[in-house]
Amino acid sequence: MQIGMVGLNYKTAPVEIREVLAVPAAELPAALERLNGLAVSESVLLSTCNRTEVYAVGQDAQETCAELTQYLAELGRFPDPEGLRPYLYQKAGMDAVTHLFRVACGLDSMVIGETQILGQVRDSYRDSDQAGTVGKVLHQLFEQAIAVGKRAHTETRIGQNAVSVSYAAVELAKKVFRSLDGRRCMAIGAGETAKLTVRHLQASGVREIIIANRTLERARCLAREIDGIAIPMSELPAYLQQVDVVISSTGSADYILTLPMVAEAVRHRRGRPIFLFDIAVPRDIDPQVATLDGVFLYDIDDLQAVVTANLKERAEEAKLVERIVAEEVDKFRTWTASLEVVPTIRQLRDKVEAIRQREVARTFNRLPDLTDRERAVIEAMTVTLVNKILNAPTQRLKGMADQGEADLAIETVARLFDLPLAKGEPLLREGRG
């Protein structure tokens, strides 16, 4: 038995290929139906806009992967699987396990550390499970993959720090204000990035949004859309002193916010800081404004620089996540190794338990005068005895299996205890495929 996977992602396949293989929700049942018909014992289909991957457990890694390639070709209605092959990657054994764990953590994503993929892994596992294609091995594998993804996000900061300009602005504001609850914000101009930033600010608790625009009608229109207040440009200086965050994105060639204007507003704010985001090119805010006390001014390049720094920070955290992935792959390896000796352990326990019950019954027959309490004590003693004796061999069996000596362990135990030779599925014995 081997785990195998075949798939493609944004790194290996252009969008024309990816979109053909991305399974829309409506076609998912049919795709899973077909998955159920494959000559493999278990399978899961993971399909997002950036990747389509199939995981399966089969007798032989090579055959399993060929089967999966065929499946993907049919999924994309490719007449010849060879046409798809250049875009595919395939992995077997522990490589496939490592790959899935890395995917779940967002290490393989376009934006490193994004969390959406974890939900997609969870959903595809659930869907395949409902379609009845998931068995013992993939059940364990995907449950663990989801746990690894969660662990990566709680134990490291891989998913933290904004990776978009609009969100970077919100994050910067949060580095100054304890919370954005109830803060006021002003948008000058009504560009797309400004709108996005305002939405992020609203999601972070900003309640009052003031929109200033050259044409009041457009300001009113946007104000209705995002539940704000529209003002004409002429009233801008009066409102400036009331707001904590300003996002400017007009197409004006001159400065909209000049040094005296901001200086006046700052004087009225009595030291309370004000955030100015100038995402317009050419710029809307006089750069001299940044010299004022209590003013934090960022232009589009600054925000880009934050995003770049954040991505670097995430890449640093990714090193920690790789360590977590390696740990978890080890755990999975141990689990699969223990599968081999599970039947032997069960036989051993059954045999000893049978002896115990027989001997206890015989003893009680010989001692009919025992009270119920005395019987219970003797019974408990034999249970403890058996458990204590079997504890070490059980641990050793698992330990030896973990070290690749399952055959030797099974044979030894079978001979010593006169058990029939019973071996579990040698799942993923060799890590590479």
Partner 1 sequence: MGLLLATMLAATAALYTLSAVAHLFYLFRRGFEGVARCATRIAWGAHTVSLVLLVVHTGRAPVHTHFEFSFLLTWLLAAGHNLIDLFRKNQMAGPIVIPLVAVLQVVGVALPTPGIAHFGDMQLPNALVGWHIWVTMLGYGFFVASFVAGALYLLQERNLRVKRWGPLYYRLPSLEVLDIWGGRFVYVGFSLMTIGLAAGIAFAQEIWQHLWRLDPKVLFTLLVWLLYAGYLLMRNLWGWGGRKAAWWSVIGTVGLLINYLVVNALSSLHRYGV
Give catalytic residue positions.
49
Quote the least distance from Cβ 327 to partner 1, whole Å. 17
- In this complex, which beta carbon is closest to partner 1, that of residue 233 or of residue 290? 290
Q: How far apart are CA 347 and CA 69, in angstroms?
A: 40
Q: Which of 2, 124, 204, 310 binds partner 1 (CB under 8 A)?
A: 310
Where helices occur in 205-290 by DSSP H, the ranges are 216-226, 236-240, 259-269
Beta bridge partners, 58, equal 2
Stretch that binds partner 1, among 1-9, 49-57, 106-114, 265-273 (CB under 8 A): 265-273
Q: Which of 24, 271, 368, 420 binds partner 1 (CB under 8 A)?
A: 271
Q: Which of 39, 238, 309, 385 binds partner 1 (CB under 8 A)?
A: 309
For residue 382, give both structure tokens: 């034999």
For residue 383, give the amino acid letter.
Answer: V
Establish if 305 lies at the interface with partner 1 (CB under 8 A): yes
How many residues bind partner 1 (CB under 8 A)? The answer is 23
Within 8 A by CB and 6+ apart from 294, the residues are 266, 269, 271, 272, 273, 274
- Which residues inside 346-385 make contact with partner 1, applying CB under 8 A? none
Q: How far apart are CA 170 and CA 325, in angstroms?
A: 31
Quote the least distance from Cβ 302 to partner 1, whole Å. 5
Establish if 89 lies at the interface with partner 1 (CB under 8 A): no
Nearest CA to 1 out of 51, 58, 84 is that of: 58
Establish if 296 lies at the interface with partner 1 (CB under 8 A): yes
Beta bridge partners, 430, equal none
Q: Which of 216, 226, 263, 290 binds partner 1 (CB under 8 A)?
A: 290
Asked if the bond preceding 282 is cis, omega within 30° of 0, the reply is: yes
Quote the least distance from Cβ 1 to partner 1, whole Å. 40
For residue 163, give both structure tokens: 């990776």
| Longest distance between any two alpha carbons in the chain, whole Å | 107
Establish if 273 lies at the interface with partner 1 (CB under 8 A): yes
Q: Which of 42, 108, 302, 425 binds partner 1 (CB under 8 A)?
A: 302
Query: Would you give the distance in Å from CA 91 to the centre of its chain?
Result: 20
Establish if 327 lies at the interface with partner 1 (CB under 8 A): no
Establish if 161 lies at the interface with partner 1 (CB under 8 A): yes
Q: Which of 87, 101, 142, 298 binds partner 1 (CB under 8 A)?
A: 298
The DSSP output letter for 109 is S
- Return the exposure string of 119-137: e unless at least 16 CB atoms fall within 10 Å of the residue's CB, then b: ebbbebbebbbebebbeeb
Stretch that binds partner 1, among 203-211, 257-265, 270-278, 364-372 (CB under 8 A): 270-278
Stretch that binds partner 1, among 26-34, 114-122, 126-134, 287-295 (CB under 8 A): 287-295
* Beta carbons of 104 and 121 less than 8 angstroms apart: yes
For residue 266, report the phi and psi dihedrals to the nearest 5 degrees: -65, -35
Quote the least distance from Cβ 296 to partner 1, whole Å. 6
Other CB atoms within 10 A of residue 332 CB: 23
Stretch that binds partner 1, among 41-49, 196-204, 290-298, 399-407 (CB under 8 A): 290-298
Establish if 316 lies at the interface with partner 1 (CB under 8 A): yes
Quote the least distance from Cβ 248 to partner 1, whole Å. 18
- In this complex, which beta carbon is closest to partner 1, that of residue 157 or of residue 333? 157
Establish if 68 lies at the interface with partner 1 (CB under 8 A): no
Establish if 293 lies at the interface with partner 1 (CB under 8 A): yes
* Beta carbons of 206 and 183 less than 8 angstroms apart: yes
Stretch that binds partner 1, among 46-54, 94-102, 305-313, 338-346 (CB under 8 A): 305-313
Nearest CA to 78 out of 111, 52, 101 is that of: 52
Distances (CA, A) of 142 to 9, 132, 262: 19, 14, 55
- Which residues inside 170-199 make contact with partner 1, applying CB under 8 A? 172, 174-178
Quote the least distance from Cβ 236 to partner 1, whole Å. 25
Find the helix or strand (DSSP H, E) in which 274 lies. strand 274-278
Quote the least distance from Cβ 315 to partner 1, whole Å. 11
Quote the least distance from Cβ 278 to partner 1, whole Å. 13
Q: Which of 81, 191, 237, 294 binds partner 1 (CB under 8 A)?
A: 294
Q: Which of 131, 245, 306, 324 binds partner 1 (CB under 8 A)?
A: 306
* Beta carbons of 288 and 82 less than 8 angstroms apart: no
**How would DSSP label each residue in 332-399?**
HHHHHHHHHHHHHHHHHHHHHHHHHHHHHHHHHHH-TT--HHHHHHHHHHHHHHHHHHHHHHHHHHHH
Quote the least distance from Cβ 305 to partner 1, whole Å. 7
Give contact residues for partner 1 (rule: CB under 8 A).
157, 161, 172, 174-178, 270-271, 273, 290, 293-294, 296, 298, 302, 305-306, 309-310, 313, 316
